Amino acid sequence: MNLKKIKDGAGASYTIESEILSVGKVNSLKVKSYDISYNTVIVDCDIDATCLIKSAYSYSEGGEVNAEASCKITSFEYQFYYTNDLEELFGIHEDEVEDFLTNHSEAEIIKSINTEYLLSEFKGSVEGLDVKCRYGGGWSHSKYDGTVSDLNSKFESYNLIELDARIEDSQILNFIDRLVTGETKITTYVVRMSGDVVETYENSQTCISMAKEIARENPGMDIEALEEFEEMDIEGNVEFIDSEVLWSNY
């Protein structure tokens, strides 16, 4: 059995593609700051969410994941562009917005924020959102920490400036780590006699040599040396993918 694993080089960094399917329970939410220059709200939070992990790729390894995972949204930055949005956010008339922002302290502004409206707008922007995270980036492999999106991500929603969310499903995290390092791909070198496996070997040269020896010892039998490819799924099940004949006597 041959497991290919990238520990260093360009394959040490990899890209995770996912989609936030739904936003669930809000365990906590605190508006950390409000920037009146850009009407941007920065929030620390603990929000349950569900995301679909679509794929994970390193430089030369990876593939589809297609698994739902529970995750936590721990912070986000959200920008309001229109005055009528600010009217809803602060619960004041549209004509009062500019004066309100100019003549009140940041603490007073934060205290006036309608968090239900903020959450509603955030939820509408983030549900169904495709997010991408490039993890690593160095030349030494590091185990994926569950980051769904980093602070430099480009989002489809122009209101959402930054988002920090992390997967909490350890089974999916472990599978992604195996996937991007090539550990889900299993190559086995086998000798088959009339279709049945006689023995498995560590490399192709030994496999071919032993196949020839077995053929000499079993005249008239169909002998072949094969390189067989299997793949491990997220639950650890191994599925046969393909094979290549290295040598045969027929």
Tell me the pTM. 0.77
Does any domain span residue 169? yes
In-domain check, residue 66:
yes
Same domain as 32, residue 120: yes
Give the pLDDT mean for 36-44: 94
Residues 6 or more apart in contact with residue 237 via CB below 8 angstroms: none
194 lies in a domain? Answer: yes
Count CB atoms within 10 A of the CB of residue 250. Answer: 7
Residue with tokens 């045969």: 248
Q: In the predicted model, what is the mean pLDDT of residues 228-247?
A: 91
Query: Residue 244 domain-assigned?
Result: yes
What is the C-alpha separation between 215 and 209, in angstroms, rounded?
A: 10
Residues 42 and 58 in one domain: yes
Number of domains in the chain: 2
Name, in order, each residue with C-beta under 8 angstroms of 181's C-beta and a sequence gap of 6 or more: 4, 5, 6, 7, 11, 58, 61, 141
Q: Is the separation of the CB atoms in 28 and 46 below 8 Å?
A: yes
CB atoms within 10 A of CB 89: 22
Q: Are residues 28 and 120 both part of a single domain? A: yes
Exposed, middle or buried by CB within 10 Å (0-12, 13-18, 19+), for 131? Answer: buried
In a shared domain, residues 198 and 131? no
In the numeric block, which tokens belong to residue 180? Answer: 């991007």
Domain ranges, residue 207: 185-248
Q: How many CB atoms within 10 Å of residue 236?
A: 11
Q: Are residues 171 and 206 in the same domain?
A: no
Cβ contacts of 92 within 8 Å, gap of 6 or more: 100, 112
**pLDDT value for 6:** 52
pLDDT at 15: 87
Q: How many residues does the chain have?
A: 250
Note whether 148 and 91 are same-domain residues. yes
pLDDT digits (tens, 9 = 90+) for 134-185: 887 667 777 888 888 754 455 556 788 888 899 988 899 999 988 988 889 8
Q: 225 - beta bridge partners?
A: 191, 247
pLDDT over 70, % of the chain: 91
Of 33-37, 65-69, 143-147, 197-201, least confident by mean pLDDT is: 143-147
Q: Find out whether 26 and 47 touch, Cβ atoms under 8 Å.
A: yes
Q: Are residues 24 and 141 in the same domain?
A: yes
